[in-house]
Amino acid sequence: MKLGIISDEISQDPDHAFKIAKRLGASHVEIRDVWGKNVCGLSENEVLELKKIAQRHGLEISNIDSYAFKNYIDDREGHAQSLRTLKRAIELTKLLDLRFTRIFTFWWQGGLARHLDRIAELLSPALDLAADEGVVLAVENEYSCMVGTGGETRILLDKMRSQWLKVLWDPGNAFFAREEPYPQGYEHVKGDIVHVHLKDAAVENGAFKFKPIGAGMIDYFGQLRELGRTFDGVVSLETHYIPPGGKREDGTVESFNGLLRILQSLKDG
């Protein structure tokens, strides 16, 4: 299993973030926001500089993350901007010789069944672009979007029926969307996953709370055991957890160490 970290979960400064990622034991970094802006707002020279910094620290870039299709379904200008953003994300993905880039499924406005046809209609041009450029679109299940669970992701995949649409599986997001991520949610998507985000969570006093990996309610022992058997891609830490009185980097260090403890226990067992 290849381990990665989303770099801005440590710092907006890539040199510092990559140094910490390497020290923790990651082999990959995922680029979302850097130097105070989203990766799709960078120049080609800046993106190539990120690759050089990663290589200097002995790391590879797993993928880049835009926020494409985090807009409302009826927001025409927002949708047009998402398509422009996706085009740029695909350009940068190809520049870095990567094979997939992330998309979302519009802000939540009610049950998926009610909006499925419209979502499929709006995503069709994106899939045409992906096919033309040879870049897979990895749809992330996101609890604030129309597709938040593994079950909903399966419905979308069956609706679109495209080899260019795969899954960025996020067990933590499925948990927030009130699905048991493993094994239930995972069963729906396990054959179509190209990338994984890891975050843990729990419900405390009636509220959802991010937790370090291994300290929440998600069965990461089972999930990681299964991924170790069947998945040869990168799993990236996206902890979102910040300890009381601490900062993002502290939460990432704590979570990554929790991840390593689970992996070690699987190895020992």
Structure tokens given for 110: 């009610």
Tell me, what CATH number does 190's domain have? Answer: 3.20.20.150
What's the CA gap between 14 and 46, in Å, rounded?
A: 11
Structure tokens given for 80: 């047009």
Share of the chain above pLDDT 90, in %: 99
Mean pLDDT in residue range 8-23: 98
Domain count within the chain: 1
Q: Which domain holds residue 150?
A: 2-268
Give the distance, in angstroms, between the CA of residue 75 and the centroid of all CA atoms in the same chain.
24
The candidate with the shortest Cα–Cα distance to 104, out of 148, 137, 68, 158, is 68
Please, which pLDDT band fits residue 269 given cuts at 50, 70 and 90?
A: confident
Q: Tens digits of per-residue pLDDT, 26-82?
A: 999 999 999 999 999 999 999 999 999 999 999 999 999 999 999 999 999 999 999
Please, which pLDDT band fits residue 1 given cuts at 50, 70 and 90?
A: confident
DSSP string, 120-131: HHHHHHHHHHHH
Examine the pLDDT at 136 and tell me if it is beyond 90. Answer: yes
Share of the chain above pLDDT 70, in %: 100
Mean pLDDT in residue range 132-158: 98
The candidate with the shortest Cα–Cα distance to 241, out of 207, 262, 212, is 212
Q: Tens digits of per-residue pLDDT, 173-224?
A: 999 999 999 999 999 999 999 999 999 999 999 999 999 999 999 999 999 9
What's the CA gap between 29 and 64, in Å, rounded?
A: 9
